[in-house]
C-alpha cells in the first residue's frame, strides 16, 4: 500500500535544485511520485519506498535532511526473535528512518524525521505483543525497583516460585535411595498452579502477543511446553485409579522449568546491568548543582540552569560541573573517568577543565564554556550509548536465524511428539520429550551474544579513554594491518618551540614582529610558537591585512603594499622563490621562511625560523606495540623531509612521507588500500579530516579539533599514541567474544535439541541448560571488564 512522506530539506537555493532532488528520488525503487516545493523547502514522496533510501538519495544529491534520534524502553522482550518483530512494528510509522532494538538494554532507538506521538508508537508496539515505556536513567530504574512492594520486586517471582517447587523436587532425590516422599497429588497441584498461572503469567501474556502478531518467541515456547506438562499431569491424575496407589505426575517438571527460567531471567538481568556499569559510572559523574556568581553573590543553582559564560566556583572535593577555562586558582584535577588518565593533572589560570572531573586540593574559579548537551561528558555518554546500542554486521545474520528459529523448533517438537506417540504408543514420553525440545531451544543466548559483548567491550574501553562510535568500527578494527599517523600533535607533543631563527634582509626583531603579526590569527602550533616568542619580547603587532591561510603550506597577508608569505620550503619552491642555503642543520626541526614581495619586484627572504617538536614520551613504545601485532606503521606530514626523517628514525617507523598536503594524505591512503592494506588513520587536526574519512578506520585524538573527531570512528580522550594499539587490541578482544558467544549459543541448541528430541534430556535439565546458556554468554562478555591496556 502506497504511503505519503513529507519532510524538510536544507540547502536548496534555485530552481535547478528542485529538478536535482526530484530526479534523485524518482530513481528509487518504490517511489511513484516525488515533488519538491522550493518556497517551503519541503519534499513530498508517494509510494512504498524505503524511507532510509529516500533520505540518503537527498543527501547524495548534496542537500541536508534534519533527522533525530529518540529512545524508548520496551518491556516484554524475551529472546532474539523479539528484536525483528519490534523493529518491523516501528517501521509501520511513516516518519521512522531506522529502528534498532538492543535486547541487552531492552531499548528501542529510532532515527526519525520527526518524533512520533507516543500513543501512536505505543499502539504499534503493543500490537506486536510488547509494552513501550518512556526511557528512564539507570539510577531511576534502580530506585524504582527498591521502592516497590516485595511481591513486585525482581527477585520475588523466582524466589517464591523456587520455594513452591522445592517440596516437589526434593522427594525426587529420595527416590535415588528408595525413599518415597512425594506429596499427594492434590498438594502437588496446589503448589504447581500458582507457579503456572501467577508467576508464569508473563509467559502467557507475551506468548499470546506473539500469536496475535503471527510469530513465535521464547515465551511462547515456554508457555506451550510447561502447559503441556501441567495438562498431562491433570489428565493422569483425573484418569488414575485410587486402587493403584499414587499416580506418577509431572507437576514438578512444569514448575521446575518455570522456576529455572524465571531464575535465569533474573540472574541474566542482573548480569546485563553489569555490562552497562561504565555508562552508569559516567552518568554518576554529573553533578546536580554548581556554585555560580549571580547578582554579586555566589549562588547554588542546578547544573542544568548554568549558562555559558558564567563564573563558577569549585571547592576541593567537588566535581567540576561544566566544561570551562580556569580564571583564577590552581589545583590538581582527577580526570580518570573522563580520559582514563590515572595521574591527577595540574591546572592553573587559562587551563581547560572538563565537567565530571574531580577538583582535589585547591579552589578554582572557572568560566563556563560548554554546558548541558554540549559538554564533553554529555558527548562521551552519547558516544558510549550509541556504541552500546549499535548492531554488529554479524547481528544481521543472527536476526535472520532468530526469525525462523521458533517456527522450526515448534515443528521439531511436533515431530518428536508424533514420533513417540505414534511410533511407540507412549504419548506421555512423547509429550515430555517435546516439552524438553521447546524449553531448551529458547534463543535467549542467541539474542544476547552480540550486544552483551559490545556493551562490555565499549564500556571497558571508555574507562580507559577509548570511545568507539559504533559496532562497525569494532569489526573494522579487527582487520587493520596498516596504521598511518599524522606527525604534529599525534606522534609529537604538538607544542613546538621556536628554537632558532636567522634574519637575512631585516633585523631579527623586525622579522619576528612581522611574522607574529601574520600568525596572530592562525591556530597552527607553529604560529603559536612565533606569537609566544614575540609576546615574550613585548613586541606589538603590525597592521597587516588580507590575511589568508593556505592549507598545508602557510599563511600570507599584505603589509605596506607588499605581500608577505610565511610557510614551508615546499610552498616557497611552488612560488618559485629563490632560497639561500641553510645556515644551520638542526635534526628534526621544522622550517618556515618569511618572504616579502613588492609589486613587480623579486621576492626577498627576510628570515628563516627553526621549530623543534619532541616526540611524545610513549610514541616509540606505541609503534613497537603495533609492530608486535603485525601492523605496518607509517607517517604522513606536511613538514620538511629532514624533520620527518628524524622522527621516523627515532620512532622506528616502517614508512614515512614528508611535505604532504592535506588532500594528498587521502590519496596516499587510497593507494595503500589499492595495494590490499586495511588502513587506520590517526590524526588530530582539521587537515586530517579528509584522510580520516578516507581510511577504513579513522582514529582521532580528542585533544585535537572537533572536525577531526567527527570524521573518526574511534576517539582517544588522551593524546597518547599508545592508546591506538590498545584500541585495536580491545576491538579484537570484543569481536572474539562475540564469536565465542555465538558459538556457545548455537552449540547449546545444536546439541541440546537432538538430545531432547531423543529423550536424553528431561524438561527440568533442559530448563536449567537454557538458563545456563544465557548466563554463560553474559559471563563470558563480562570477562572483558578485566582488560587493562599495556603500561
Active site residues: 486
b/e sequence 472-498, b meaning 16+ C-beta within 10 Å: bbbbbbbebebbbbbbbbbbbbbebbb
DSSP annotation of 686 reads G
Q: Which of 375, 383, 336 is nearest to 354 (CA)?
A: 375
DSSP annotation of 199 reads I
CB within 8 Å of 288: residues ≥ 6 apart: 302, 303
Q: Which pairing describes strands 31-37 and 42-47: parallel, antiparallel, or unpaired?
A: antiparallel
- The set of cell numbers assigned to 602 is 623579486
Instruction: Give the residues across from 636 on adjacent strands.
Output: 486, 657
Say if residues 672 and 484 touch (Cβ distance below 8 Å). Answer: yes
- The set of cell numbers assigned to 757 is 528430541
Exposure of 55 by Cβ count < 10 A (0-12 exposed, 13-18 middle, 19+ buried)? Answer: buried
- Complete DSSP assignment for 172-187: HHHHTTT---PPPHHH
CB within 8 Å of 17: residues ≥ 6 apart: 11, 36, 38, 63
Edge-to-edge strand ranges of the sheet holding 96-102: 96-102, 107-112, 68-75, 131-133
Q: What is residue 615's three-state secondary structure? A: strand
Q: Which pairing describes strands 697-701 and 679-683: parallel, antiparallel, or unpaired?
A: parallel
d(CA 647, CA 282): 37
Q: Which of 357, 257, 358 is nearest to 316 (CA)?
A: 358
State how far the alpha carbon of 116 is from the alpha carbons of 69, 92, 180, 721, in Å.
Answer: 11, 11, 61, 44
d(CA 260, CA 765): 10
Q: Which pairing describes strands 364-370 and 323-328: parallel, antiparallel, or unpaired?
A: antiparallel
Torsions phi, psi for 318 (to 5 deg)? -90, 155
d(CA 726, CA 294): 45
Say which residue the cell 556499569 belongs to. Answer: 277
d(CA 724, CA 474): 13
DSSP annotation of 198 reads I
Instruction: Write out the H or E segment, with its range, that includes residue 107.
Output: strand 107-112
d(CA 332, CA 674): 49
Q: How many CB atoms are located within 10 Å of the residue 443 CB?
A: 29
Say if residues 765 and 258 touch (Cβ distance below 8 Å). Answer: no
b/e sequence 142-177, b meaning 16+ C-beta within 10 Å: eeeeeeeeeeeeeebbbbbbbebbebbeebeeeeee
Torsions phi, psi for 557 (to 5 deg)? -160, 175
Q: How many CB atoms are located within 10 Å of the residue 212 CB?
A: 12
- Complete DSSP assignment for 689-755: HHHHHHSSEEEEETTS-HHHHHT-SEEESS--THHHHHHHHHHHHHHHHHHHHHHHHHHHHHHHHHH
Q: How many CB atoms are located within 10 Å of the residue 404 CB?
A: 11
Q: Which of 385, 471, 524 is nearest to 697 (CA)?
A: 471
Long-range contacts of 33-42 (CB under 8 A, 24+ apart): 36/9, 36/12, 38/12, 38/14, 40/8, 41/8, 41/9, 41/10, 41/12, 42/6, 42/7, 42/8, 42/9
Amino acid at each position: 500500500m502506497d504511503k505519503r512522506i513529507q519532510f524538510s530539506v536544507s540547502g536548496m537555493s534555485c530552481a535547478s535544485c528542485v529538478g536535482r532532488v526530484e530526479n534523485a528520488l524518482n530513481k528509487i525503487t518504490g517511489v511513484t511520485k516525488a515533488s519538491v516545493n522550493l518556497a517551503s523547502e519541503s519534499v513530498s514522496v508517494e509510494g512504498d519506498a524505503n524511507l532510509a533510501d529516500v533520505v540518503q538519495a537527498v543527501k547524495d544529491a548534496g542537500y541536508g535532511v534534519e533527522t533525530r534520534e529518540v529512545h524508548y524502553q520496551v518491556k516484554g522482550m524475551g529472546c532474539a526473535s523479539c528484536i525483528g518483530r519490534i523493529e518491523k512494528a516501528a517501521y509501520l510509522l511513516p516518519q521512522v528512518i531506522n529502528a534498532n532494538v538492543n535486547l541487552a538494554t531492552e531499548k528501542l532507538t529510532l532515527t526519525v524525521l520527526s518524533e512520533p506521538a507516543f500513543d501512536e508508537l505505543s499502539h504499534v508496539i503493543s500490537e506486536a505483543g510488547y509494552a513501550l515505556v518512556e526511557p528512564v536513567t539507570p539510577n531511576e530504574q534502580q530506585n524504582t525497583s527498591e521502592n516497590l512492594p516485595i511481591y513486585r520486586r525482581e527477585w520475588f517471582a523466582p524466589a517464591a516460585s523456587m520455594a513452591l517447587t522445592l517440596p516437589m523436587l526434593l522427594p525426587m532425590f529420595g527416590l535415588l535411595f528408595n525413599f518415597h516422599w512425594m506429596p499427594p497429588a492434590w498438594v502437588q497441584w496446589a503448589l504447581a498452579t500458582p507457579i503456572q498461572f501467577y508467576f508464569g503469567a508473563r509467559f502467557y501474556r507475551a506468548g499470546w502477543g506473539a500469536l496475535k502478531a503471527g510469530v513465535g518467541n521464547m515465551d511462547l515456547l515456554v508457555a506451550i511446553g510447561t502447559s503441556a506438562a501441567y495438562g498431562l499431569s491433570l489428565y493422569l491424575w483425573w484418569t488414575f485409579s485410587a486402587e493403584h496407589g499414587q499416580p506418577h505426575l509431572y507437576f514438578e517438571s512444569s514448575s521446575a522449568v518455570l522456576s529455572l527460567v524465571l531464575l535465569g531471567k533474573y540472574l541474566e538481568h542482573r548480569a546485563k546491568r553489569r555490562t552497562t556499569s561504565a555508562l552508569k559510572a559516567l552518568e554518576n559523574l554529573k553533578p546536580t548543582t554548581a556554585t555560580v556568581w549571580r547578582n554579586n553573590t555566589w549562588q547554588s543553582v542546578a547544573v542544568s540552569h548554568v549558562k555559558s559564560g558564567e563564573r563558577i566556583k569549585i571547592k576541593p572535593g567537588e566535581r567540576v560541573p561544566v566544561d570551562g577555562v580556569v580564571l583564577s586558582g590552581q589545583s590538581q584535577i582527577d580526570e580518570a573517568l573522563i580520559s582514563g588518565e590515572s595521574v591527577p593533572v595540574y591546572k592553573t589560570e587559562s587551563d581547560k577543565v572538563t565537567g565530571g572531573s574531580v577538583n582535589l586540593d585547591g579552589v578554582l574559579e572557572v568560566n563556563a564554556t560548554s554546558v548541558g548537551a554540549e559538554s564533553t561528558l554529555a558527548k562521551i555518554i552519547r558516544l558510549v550509548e550509541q556504541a552500546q546500542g549499535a548492531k554488529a554486521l554479524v547481528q544481521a545474520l543472527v536476526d535472520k536465524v532468530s526469525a525462523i528459529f521458533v517456527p522450526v523448533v515448534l515443528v521439531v517438537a511436533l515431530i518428536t511428539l508424533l514420533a513417540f506417540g505414534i511410533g511407540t504408543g507412549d504419548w506421555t514420553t512423547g509429550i515430555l520429550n517435546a516439552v524438553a525440545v521447546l524449553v531448551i531451544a529458547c534463543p535467549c543466548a542467541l539474542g544476547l551474544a552480540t550486544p552483551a559483548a559490545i556493551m562490555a567491550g565499549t564500556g571497558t574501553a571508555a574507562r580507559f579513554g577509548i570511545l568507539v562510535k559504533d559496532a562497525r568500527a569494532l569489526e573494522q578494527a579487527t582487520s587493520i594491518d596498516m596504521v598511518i599517523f599524522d606527525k604534529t600533535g599525534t606522534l609529537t607533543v604538538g607544542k613546538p618551540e621556536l628554537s632558532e631563527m636567522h634574519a637575512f634582509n631585516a633585523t631579527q626583531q623586525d622579522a619576528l614582529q612581522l611574522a607574529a603579526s601574520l600568525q596572530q590569527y592562525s591556530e597552527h602550533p607553529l604560529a603559536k610558537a612565533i606569537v609566544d616568542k614575540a609576546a615574550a619580547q613585548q613586541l606589538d603587532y603590525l597592521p597587516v591585512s588580507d590575511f589568508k591561510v593556505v592549507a598545508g603550506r602557510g599563511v600570507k597577508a599584505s603589509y605596506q603594499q607588499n605581500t608577505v608569505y610565511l610557510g614551508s620550503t615546499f610552498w616557497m619552491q611552488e612560488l618559485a622563490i629563490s632560497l639561500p642555503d641553510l645556515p644551520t642543520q638542526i635534526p628534526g626541526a621544522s622550517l618556515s621562511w618569511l618572504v616579502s614581495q613588492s609589486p613587480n619586484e623579486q621576492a626577498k627572504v627576510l628570515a628563516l625560523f627553526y621549530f623543534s617538536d619532541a616526540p611524545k614520551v610513549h610514541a616509540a613504545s606505541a609503534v613497537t606495540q603495533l609492530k608486535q601485532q603485525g601492523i605496518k606503521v607509517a607517517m604522513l606530514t606536511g613538514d620538511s623531509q629532514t624533520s620527518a626523517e628524524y622522527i621516523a628514525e627515532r620512532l622506528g617507523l616502517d614508512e614515512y612521507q614528508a611535505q604532504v598536503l592535506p588532500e594528498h594524505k587521502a590519496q596516499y591512503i587510497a593507494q595503500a588500500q589499492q595495494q590490499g592494506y586495511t588502513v587506520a588513520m590517526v590524526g588530530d587536526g582539521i587537515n586530517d579530516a579528509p584522510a580520516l574519512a578516507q581510511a577504513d578506520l579513522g582514529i582521532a585524538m580528542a585533544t585535537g579539533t572537533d572536525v577531526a573527531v567527527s570524521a573518526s570512528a574511534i576517539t582517544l580522550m588522551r593524546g597518547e599514541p599508545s592508546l591506538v594499539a590498545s584500541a585495536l587490541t580491545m576491538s579484537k578482544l570484543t569481536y572474539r567474544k562475540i564469536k565465542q558467544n555465538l558459538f556457545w549459543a548455537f552449540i547449546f541448541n545444536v546439541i541440546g535439541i537432538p538430545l531432547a528430541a531423543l529423550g536424553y534430556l528431561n524438561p527440568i535439565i533442559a530448563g536449567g541448560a537454557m538458563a545456563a546458556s544465557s548466563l554463560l554468554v553474559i559471563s563470558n562478555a563480562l570477562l572483558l571488564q578485566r582488560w587493562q591496556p599495556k603500561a
